[in-house]
Amino acid sequence: MVYLLNNSNLPWSEFHKIFKNGNYEFNDYLRKRLDIKYTKDFFKLSPKSLRDIIKRVLTLQFDEEPPYDTICDKLR
């Protein structure tokens, strides 16, 4: 949704330019994407009405199930 609201742009949309020469592995890409800077930028791009949902989803533990009912209620 944030992608569509920002003209198909996300903070990491230009990564293909950074990693274009092929001297990088997927782990390098992943480490760069997980940089807190991109998460903060993503959060700033998000509409204020969605920030609570995004914050909740981004702070989920790996084995934790998302609160789907709560998310759906807030989206309505």
pLDDT in tens, 57-76: 888 898 999 999 988 998 88
At residue 14, the pLDDT reads 75
d(CA 70, CA 76): 10
Per-residue pLDDT, averaged over 24-42, amounts to 78
10 contacts 45 by C-beta, under 8 angstroms = yes
pTM for this model (two decimals): 0.58
d(CA 6, CA 52): 18
